[in-house]
């Protein structure tokens, strides 16, 4: 099998950037989100369409990022 | 354009495709997201989970020599096997595995340039089949601790200004604005960085497609912060994995002789009672040692 429809895009959620990577393998679309800097994975999911996989993962990523505390420097 | 100091440690995707059935080569996927392997991997590749198989799961430490031997043996890897590591996030944790393998003296270990990202983007063959390889005897070398910095060495380097410290975390972690990468658990009591450290995020060593930047670009990147290999270098991050990536760049792509990875990193330093901490951005001009 070869991955198809590989796609990367970046979205902004409040003060945070989210990098989404998705692709299709077989009948499944996989998606992952990382926090751009440093690029750690923060959410993953799969669905029957690329848009749905991205939607699921973006929601999880936003929930997780919302818990990040920022300090005064 | 100048060459990498040790170009033999990098292989291309074409090279991997040509060696998919080579019994002398073992492909190992090491991901940040340990589930990635199950969502398709290079045919014949096995997976190592960084948080279970590449650390001591009881005390905070890397694999013991016996643990490393068990991992290699169980992976069907002999001391003569060519091991090719690759992973997600620009080979972030593949470099962590590479660093440990070099500590225990594995002779021929390489990294797939571009890692999982480029393999996917290039639409190369994937499988969800999990291969099995029979165990083979493996005897590791004694630990090469010249590749690793422990807390007393870092404290000494700070006091004597005897090494350049490179903090490869994000600028927000470096300044102390956040205590962990966004969305990840906080593992330290204080934010900031080790006094005197320069901040050069690890991912700056990579191109957008996940491959490493050229030797000239890397020299320019680190040279701008007075990191040129003429003095000992200590790389650190939060738990030592991002800095193993930078350690790889310094040691194998740029050929620095005296470079160590401080895997205690900020999770150790930022929890020490009484340790000096700097907050905010580094001074504009790097200090010369």
Give the tens place of pLDDT for each residue, B169-196. Answer: 999 999 999 999 999 999 999 999 999 9
Q: Is B175 within 8 Å of chain A by CB?
A: yes
Strand duo A16-25 + A28-34: pairing: antiparallel
Whether the predicted pLDDT of B162 surpasses 50: yes
Cβ-based contacts of B180 with chain A (< 8 Å) = 68
Check: CB of residue B96 under 8 Å from CB of residue B8: no
Q: Does B39 touch chain A (CB under 8 A)?
A: yes
User: How many CB atoms are located within 10 Å of the residue A42 CB?
Assistant: 27
Which tokens hold the place of B196?
A: 């005197």
Model pLDDT, residue B283: 84
Range with the lowest mean pLDDT among A34-38, A54-58, B268-272?
A34-38
Pairwise CA distance, residues B87 & B54, whole Å: 14
Tell me the mean pLDDT in the region A42-67: 97
Choose among A3, A67, A68: nearest Cβ to B120: A3
Q: State the SS3 of B236-277.
A: ECCCCCHHHHHHHHHHHHCCCCCEEEECCHHHHHCCCCCCCC
Chain B positions in Cβ-Cβ contact with residue A73 (cut-off 8 Å): 175-177, 191, 279-280
For residue B63, give both structure tokens: 């694999």
Asked whether the predicted pLDDT for residue A47 surpasses 50, the reply is yes
Are residues A70 and B125, on separate chains, in Cβ contact within 8 Å? no
For residues A28-55, average pLDDT: 96
Annotation says B206 is catalytic: no
Q: Give the residue from chain A lying closest to B210, CA to CA.
A: A39
Nearest-angstrom CA–CA distance, A34 and A11: 11
Question: Across the strands, what pairs with A23?
Answer: A30
Residue A73 touches chain B, beta carbons under 8 Å: yes
Phi, psi dihedral angles at B237 (to 5 degrees): -145, -120
Using one digit for the tens of pLDDT, what is the confidence trace for B49-99?
999 999 999 999 999 999 999 999 999 999 999 999 999 999 999 999 999
The chain-wide mean pLDDT, for chain A, equals: 96
- Provide the pLDDT confidence category of residue B217 given band limits of 50, 70 and 90: very high
**Burial group, residue B57, by CB count within 10 angstroms (0-12, 13-18, 19+):** exposed
Contact B14, B7 (CB under 8 A): no
Q: Which residues contact B11 (CB under 8 A, 6 or more apart)?
A: B84, B110, B111, B112, B113
Q: For chain B, what is the mean pLDDT?
A: 96
The phi and psi torsions of B270 (rounded to 5 degrees) equal -75, 0
Rounded Cα distance between B247 and B251, Å, is 6
Q: Does B181 contact A64 at a Cβ distance shorter than 8 Å?
A: no
Please tell me the distance from the alpha carbon of residue B127 to that of residue A48, in angstroms, as a whole number: 19
Does B88 contact A41 at a Cβ distance shorter than 8 Å? yes
For B145-273, list the strands marked E by DSSP.
164-167, 198-199, 233-236, 259-262
**Tokens describing residue B142:** 């004694």
- Set out the domains of chain B in order of their start, with CATH numbers: 7-143 (3.40.250.10), 148-269 (3.40.250.10)
Phi-psi domain of B144 (left: phi exceeds 0; alpha: psi -120 through 50; beta: other): beta
Q: How far apart (Å, rounded) are the C-alpha atoms in residues B140 and B71?
A: 11
Return the pLDDT at B284. 82
Using CA atoms, how far apart are residues B90 and B202, in angstroms rounded to an integer? 10
Distance, CA of B261 to CA of B239 (rounded, Å): 10
Which burial class, exposed, middle or buried, applies to A72 when counting CB atoms under 10 A from its CB (0-12, 13-18, 19+)?
exposed
């Amino acid at each position: 099998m070869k991955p198809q429809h590989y796609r990367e895009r970046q979205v902004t959620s409040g003060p945070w950037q989210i990098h989404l990577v998705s692709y299709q393998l077989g009948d499944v679309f996989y998606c992952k989100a990382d926090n751009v800097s440093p690029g750690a994975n923060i959410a993953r999911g799969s669905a029957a369409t690329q848009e749905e996989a991205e939607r699921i993962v973006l929601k999880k990523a936003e929930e997780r990022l919302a818990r990040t505390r920022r300090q005064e420097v | 354009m100048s060459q990498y100091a040790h170009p033999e440690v990098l292989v291309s995707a074409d090279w991997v495709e040509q060696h998919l059935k080579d019994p002398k080569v073992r492909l190992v996927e090491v991901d940040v997201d340990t589930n990635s392997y199950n969502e398709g991997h290079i045919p014949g590749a096995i997976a190592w989970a960084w948080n279970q198989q590449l650390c001591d799961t009881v005390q905070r430490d890397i694999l013991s020599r016996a643990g490393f031997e068990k991992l290699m043996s169980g992976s069907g890897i002999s001391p003569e096997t060519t091991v090719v590591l690759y992973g997600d996030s620009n080979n972030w944790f593949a470099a962590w595995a590479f660093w440990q393998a070099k500590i225990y003296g594995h002779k021929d270990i390489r990294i797939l340039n571009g890692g999982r990202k480029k393999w996917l983007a290039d639409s190369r063959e994937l499988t969800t089949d999990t291969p099995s390889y029979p165990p083979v005897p493996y005897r590791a070398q004694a630990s090469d601790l010249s590749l690793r910095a422990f807390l007393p060495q870092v404290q000494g380097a700070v006091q004597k200004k005897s090494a350049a410290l490179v903090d490869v975390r994000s600028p927000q972690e470096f300044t102390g604005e956040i205590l962990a990468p966004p969305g990840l658990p906080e593992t330290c009591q204080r934010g900031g960085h080790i006094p005197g450290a320069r901040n050069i995020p690890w991912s700056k060593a990579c191109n957008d497609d996940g491959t490493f930047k050229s030797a000239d670009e890397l020299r320019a990147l680190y040279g701008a912060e007075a990191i040129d290999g003429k003095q000992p270098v200590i790389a650190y991050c939060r738990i030592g994995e991002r800095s193993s990536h930078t350690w790889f760049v310094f040691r194998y792509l740029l050929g620095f002789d005296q470079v160590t990875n401080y895997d205690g990193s900020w999770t150790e330093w930022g929890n020490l009672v009484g340790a000096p901490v700097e907050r905010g951005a580094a001074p504009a001009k790097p200090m010369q040692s």
